[in-house]
Amino acid sequence: MHLTLKSYIKQVEEKLLFPKDVVKHYLSKAKQNNNKYNAFINFYDEYINQNLDKFSDFWLMAAPIWVKDIILTKDLTSCWSQMLKEFRSPYSATCFQNLEKAWGLIIWKTNMDEFAMWSSTETSYFWPSQNFYGKNRVPWGTSWWSAIAVAWDFVIAALWTDTWWSIRQPAAFSNIVWMKPTYGRVSRYGVQSMASSLDQVWVFTKTVEDARILLWSISGFDHKDSQSNKKADNKSFLKSVDLQEVRNLKIVIPKQVFSEWLDPRIKSNFLNILDKLKLAGFCISEVDLPVLSYSLPIYYTLATAEISTNMARFDGIRFWLQDETRNYDDISKYYEKIRSQWFGDEVKRRTLLWTFILSSSHYEWYYIRAQKSRQKLKSDFNKVFWEYDLIILPTTPDIPWKIGEKVDDPIKMYLSDLFTVPANLAWLPAISVPMWMVSDWDELLPSGIQVMWNRRNEKSVLDLAEVIENLQK
Question: Helix crossing, 208-218 with 94-101: angle to 10°?
Answer: 110
Separation of alpha carbons 337 and 344, rounded Å: 13
Please report the pLDDT score of residue 100 as a whole number.
Answer: 93
pLDDT digits (tens, 9 = 90+) for 408-439: 666 666 667 778 889 999 999 999 999 988 88
> What is the domain count for the chain?
1
pLDDT digits (tens, 9 = 90+) for 375-398: 999 999 999 999 999 999 998 888
Please report the pLDDT score of residue 237 as a whole number.
Answer: 77
Share of the chain above pLDDT 70, in %: 81
Least confident of 62-71, 111-120, 227-236: 111-120
Q: Among the ranges 210-219, 336-345, 356-365, which has the highest mean pLDDT value?
A: 210-219
Please report the pLDDT score of residue 134 as a whole number.
Answer: 60
- Whichever domain contains 147, its CATH number is 3.90.1300.10
Please report the pLDDT score of residue 122 as a whole number.
Answer: 52
Please report the pLDDT score of residue 431 as a whole number.
Answer: 93
pLDDT digits (tens, 9 = 90+) for 33-49: 766 666 666 677 888 88
Structural domain boundaries, residue 192: 1-473
The radius of gyration computed from the CA coordinates of the chain, to the nearest angstrom, equals 21
Q: Place 352 in a pLDDT band, splitting at 50, 70 and 90.
A: confident
**pLDDT top residue among 364 and 470:** 470
Please report the pLDDT score of residue 375 as a whole number.
Answer: 95
Q: pTM of the predicted model, to two decimals?
A: 0.88
Assign 3-class secondary structure to the chain.
CCCCHHHHHHHHHCCCCCHHHHHHHHHHHHHHHHHHHCCEEEECHHHHHHHHHHHCCCCCCCEEEEEECCECECCECCCCCHHHCCCCCCCCCHHHHHHHHCCEEEEEEECCCHHHCCCCCCCCCCCCCCCCCCCCECCCCCCHHHHHHHHCCCCCEEEEEECCCCCHHHHHHHCCEEEECCCCCCCCCCECCCCCCCCEEEEEECCHHHHHHHHHHHCCCCCCCCCCCHHHHCCHHHCCCCHHHHHCCEEEEEHHHCCCCCCHHHHHHHHHHHHHHHHCCCEEEEECCHHHHHHHHHHHHHHHHHHHHHHCCCCCCCCCCCCCHHHCCCHHHHHHHHHHHHCCHHHHHHHHHHHHHHCCCCHHHHHHHHHHHHHHHHHHHHHHHHHCCEEEEECCCCCCCECCCCCCCHHHHHHHHCCCHHHHHCCCCEEEEEEEEEEECCEEEEEEEEEECCCCCHHHHHHHHHHHHHHCC
Q: What is the mean pLDDT of residues 83-96?
A: 83
Please report the pLDDT score of residue 127 as a whole number.
Answer: 53
Please report the pLDDT score of residue 376 as a whole number.
Answer: 94
pLDDT digits (tens, 9 = 90+) for 133-190: 666 665 555 556 667 778 878 889 988 787 765 545 666 677 889 888 999 999 999 9
- 157-162 β-sheet, strand order: 40-43, 104-110, 63-68, 157-162, 200-205, 177-180, 430-440, 443-452, 390-394, 250-254, 283-287
**pLDDT top residue among 444 and 353:** 444
